[in-house]
Amino acid sequence: MTALDYVLAGVLAVIHGPEAFTLLGFPVSITVLMVVAGFFAGIVVGATPGLGQVIALAISLPILISIFGFNASALLPVMGFMIGIMKGSTVGGAVPAILFNTPGTPDSYMTTLDGYPMTRNGQAQKALRVAHFSSVSGDTFSDICLFVFAPSLAILVERYLDLPEKTALIILSLSFIAVVVGRSPAKGLAAAALGLFFVYVGTGEDFHPRLSLNAPALADGIPITAAVIGVLVIGSIFSELEKLWREKSTAGTITATSQSGDGRLHWTDIRRIAPYIGRSAVIGTAIGALPGIGSTLAATLGYASGSAFHRRRKAPDEPDFGKGAMQGIAATEAANSSVAGANLIPVLSLGIPGNTAAVFLVLAADSIGGFNPGPGVFRFTSDVNPELVIAFGLFTTMVIANILNWTVGGVFMRCMGIMIRIPRQFLLPVVLLLTFASLYVQQTSMAMIGFALFFGALGYLMIKLGVSPLPFVIAFVLGRQLESTARQAFSATGGDPFFLFSSWIAVTFMAGAVAIIVITIRRRSKSA
């Protein structure tokens, strides 16, 4: 098969997959239906403060697997739904930030700086339209980069990287994620070390389950979903509830918000915000392609870059950044949305999840089977490579979600202002129970809830101590792969203890792993 055949096969796998129903005589495939459902669900959760794509992905994964089962035909519908959620929640996150000064996600914080002042000036609808247009533009740009660069990068990786180099690359990625994410490199390293420690409990190749303390519950290892969802979701829910508890204790009440304003986006507005969208889309895509660099940093850099540009270019009658400039919303939303597609570049080409949403895509692939994200996916063989067909199928689902985003996403997004009316002190406990139930139905064991509670408490403590949970999660997900690749590399090099330094590429990666730690620590020391 040629490359074009694979692209066509991927598109057809989505469009002509198993039929869900017929619309006006045209069959609608189950995958397309799931992308649409995921997209609208994503906007709803993105627009609901306290929820967000991580919680939505965590809850939907077991439901989707129970519906579609553990076979390869389940991959596209399940992952299509998850991609829909990722796309929808990215645009939905701007709604509470603009209308109610409450960022639905951390990435939307900078959106509040200009979005909420626009709302107070009676321009809420215009602010929402600017956010939607900027977000979709940035997202589309980053998806195009993903489609072009992921296969090329994967082919390069497969050609030049053997087992020692792959082991060194995982170590480099872990050290990169550990020290760059969050404010403290040392705390990031500690989080990564904890993630590695917990993933090695109860596993190994020997008959005796290591570090299990002879406890039967630990003998089979710690379930990955319980650990990941515990640290990320339960920890965040506890943290949000605690903030509300403190607000109630100090202010006596939990503040509610109200909506106002109206406005349209004209061609002149688009011309004014286009330069800001372009700059932020490039910044967000470049940052998103690096594993572990979150969209929050992209939003911050996009906003800072846009602010500097605005000072030089703004008309005298235009407001400054931070005082209701629509360019501020455009710069932030284009940057944080353009991270989403680019973040899948390291997942699909290297098998290394770069952010939490990507972790759930890896979890879905791992649970269902038949698709192992990594350089092996992009083998353009003459015989059919089913994983490559699925990869192009995933790209097709992203295009469908983008089309939805351009057409009906904005209208649906603006209808979501109502979600903010559900008080968070009731919504979050419901989400907590829903998360526990979702974990239970996957493995039908109360131990899952116990593990999730333990890791939820750990995640809460990490958040309160300023330790980012992301290095923990990425280390937990990559830990077993690191060990198995190292074992294979050690055997393949004839038991060479210096196998990590057996080629110049591996040496470069290892030097990079140390250098990124040293450089980051020195920079933070100077700025402290």
Partner 1 sequence: MYGADSRRPGRRPMRSLHPDTVLAVILLAFAAALLLFWLPADTDTGLYEIKRGKFTIGDALAPAFAGAVMAVAGLLLLFGPRAHDAPKLDADHVRFLSAMIAIVLVGMVLMRWVGPAATMLFADDDYRLLRDTVPWKYLGFASGGFVIVAGASSVVEGRFSRRAALAGLVAILLIIALYDLPFDDLLLPPNGDV
Q: Which of residues 455-484 bind partner 1 (CB under 8 A)?
A: 457, 460-461, 464-466, 479, 482-483
395-407: b (≥16 Cβ within 10 Å) or e: bbbbbbbbebbee
Beta pairing partners, 23: 26
Residue 370 neighbours by CB under 8 Å, 6+ apart:
71, 72, 75, 386, 387, 390
- Dihedral, 112, 131, 79, 69 alpha carbons, nearest 10: 70
Q: Which of residues 150-189 bind partner 1 (CB under 8 A)?
A: 183-187, 189
Closest CB 257 distance from partner 1, rounded Å: 18
- By residue count, the chain amounts to 528
Place of tokens 């999730």: 452
Closest CB 483 distance from partner 1, rounded Å: 4
Closest CB 441 distance from partner 1, rounded Å: 5
Q: Which of residues 65-104 bind partner 1 (CB under 8 A)?
A: 66-67
Binding characters for partner 1, 203-222, by CB under 8 A (x = yes)? -xxxxx-xxxx---------
Part in contact with partner 1 (CB under 8 A); list of ranges 77-85, 263-271, 378-386, 454-462: 454-462
Distance CA 473, CA 479 (A): 10
Closer to partner 1 by Cβ: residue 155 or 186: 186
Distance CA 19, CA 15 (A): 9
Q: Quick one: which of 360, 392, 412, 436 contacts partner 1 (CB under 8 A)?
A: 436
Q: Which of residues 355-384 bind partner 1 (CB under 8 A)?
A: none
Closest CB 278 distance from partner 1, rounded Å: 36
Asked whether the beta carbons of 334 and 135 are under 8 A apart, the reply is yes
Asked whether the beta carbons of 428 and 241 are under 8 A apart, the reply is yes
Q: Which of residues 489-518 bind partner 1 (CB under 8 A)?
A: 490-491, 495
Closer to partner 1 by Cβ: residue 3 or 441: 441
Asked whether the beta carbons of 123 and 261 are under 8 A apart, the reply is yes
Asked whether the beta carbons of 430 and 151 are under 8 A apart, the reply is no
Closer to partner 1 by Cβ: residue 115 or 202: 202
Part in contact with partner 1 (CB under 8 A); list of ranges 126-134, 235-243, 394-402, 408-416: 235-243
Cα 190 off chain centre by: 22
Part in contact with partner 1 (CB under 8 A); list of ranges 87-95, 114-122, 486-494, 500-508: 486-494
Part in contact with partner 1 (CB under 8 A); list of ranges 85-93, 239-247, 257-265, 271-279: 239-247
Closer to partner 1 by Cβ: residue 415 or 518: 518
Closer to partner 1 by Cβ: residue 415 or 461: 461
CA angle 280, 286, 291 (to 5 degrees): 130
Binding characters for partner 1, 416-435, by CB under 8 A (x = yes)? -------x-xx-xxx-xxx-
End-to-end Cα distance, the chain:
56
